[in-house]
Chain A
Amino acid sequence: MDCKRVKKLLPDFLELNLTEDLQQKVKTHIDSCEYCTKIYWNLKQSLDLLKPTAGIAEQAFYYERLKQKMENRLESKNSLLSVIFSKKLVQPVIYLSSIILAVYIGILIGSNNPSFTQYSEIEADENINPIETFAEYSYLNDYEIETIENLITESDDDN
């Protein structure tokens, strides 16, 4: 029997699952082969470690450390929530949205309410003299849209 075959039979050999004949043959090989002996003992010892172990002992201050961790987590969570729900963030958002809402309602009313369309009746009224209308609006000269500073400098230049 060669090492390769022994290696294959080793798991069943450990469990005494082989026929008596094979069991004996594997044993004979292991006894005479250093290489297979090493594998056999290492395998056996590793499998022996597969059993309930005392493992890790009770830990002092385990609860205290856990509590610390929970408190830290709560703090960081709270600080995040407080940023989101703080007046600093929420108030401006409410103000801004109410302004937008107000403007939007204003536009809605403006486009639907007939009383606002009366301004366009100036054109519709045939009795209105176009010259009078021009005179009425003629003060809307170039200066009206100039800044006061510009007006002053220009009048200075005239002098």
Chain B
Amino acid sequence: MNEKILLEKIASKDEQAFQFFVEKYHQMVLNICNNILNNFDDAMDISQEVFIKIYESIESFRGESKITTWLYRISVNKSLNHLRSKKRQKWFSGMDIIFNSDNDKNIPEDVSPKPGENIEIEENKKALHLALNKLPKKQNIALTLNNFEGLTYKEIAEIMEISVTEVGVLINRGKKKLKTLLIDYFKNN
């Protein structure tokens, strides 16, 4: 189906068209969210929010950029918002500890290796995600989109609504900082 027609149909709340769209793009959206959130359950949840947002606001899609660019942008924004609210939650659960209340909700992210998986690779994966999350947000996003998603600088520039030069700067600085953070991590572990 032609993409333009598909979007028009979704805008007129055609359920079949929406289902087609979701089935075509859910894997992509799920992976973007997971690469930022590094947590499957959260990625599932936030990716659904992305599609709900698309369904509710498809009229505002002007068709100036590719639909995938739009999907990337919404996915990145939703994931970042989720990380922010999670940080707030952590702060409140920190208060819970102070006030000595039940704290079962504060389950740490599942980073322990699953049986049969290479422990060393899992350890390195964990280190990488910890380091990425310590980077300034924009550097993190640019690196994630460039490396995990394999997007070009031009595509990233469109998604982040910045210039290609700025993307280059973000990626270079990000990579440098990332290496320093990783070395610090391995030095101490």
The answer to whether the Cβ of B19 comes within 8 Å of any Cβ in the partner chain is yes
In the complex, A46 Cα to B131 Cα: how many Å? Answer: 10
Contact of B186 among A38, A62, A63 (CB under 8 A): A38
**Cβ–Cβ contact A63 & B19, under 8 A:** yes
- Interface secondary structure of B, over-half rule: helix
In the complex, A53 Cα to B149 Cα: how many Å? Answer: 8
Task: Write the chain B residue with the least CB distance to A68.
Answer: B48
The answer to whether the Cβ of B93 comes within 8 Å of any Cβ in the partner chain is no
The answer to whether the Cβ of B11 comes within 8 Å of any Cβ in the partner chain is no
The answer to whether the Cβ of B176 comes within 8 Å of any Cβ in the partner chain is yes
Residues of B close to A53: CB separation below 8 A = 148
Number of CB contacts from chain A to chain B under 8 A = 88
Task: Write the chain A residue with the least CB distance to B180.
Answer: A11
Task: Report, as a range, how many residues of chain A touch the other chain.
Answer: 20 to 34
The answer to whether the Cβ of A88 comes within 8 Å of any Cβ in the partner chain is no
Contact with B along A36-48 (1 / 0, CB 8 A): 0011001101110
Contact with A along B105-139 (1 / 0, CB 8 A): 00000000000000011011101100100000000
**Cβ–Cβ contact A50 & B27, under 8 A:** no
The answer to whether the Cβ of B26 comes within 8 Å of any Cβ in the partner chain is yes
* A46-B131, A47-B182 given; 8 more Cβ-contact pairs under 8 Å: A7-B183, A11-B179, A45-B120, A55-B34, A58-B26, A66-B26, A66-B48, A66-B52
Binding site for A on B (CB under 8 A): 19, 22-23, 26-27, 30-31, 34-35, 40, 43-44, 48, 51-52, 55, 120-121, 123-125, 127-128, 131, 143, 147-150, 176, 178-180, 182-183, 186-187
Binding site for B on A (CB under 8 A): 7, 10-11, 14, 38-39, 42-43, 45-47, 49-53, 55-59, 62-63, 65-66, 69-70, 73
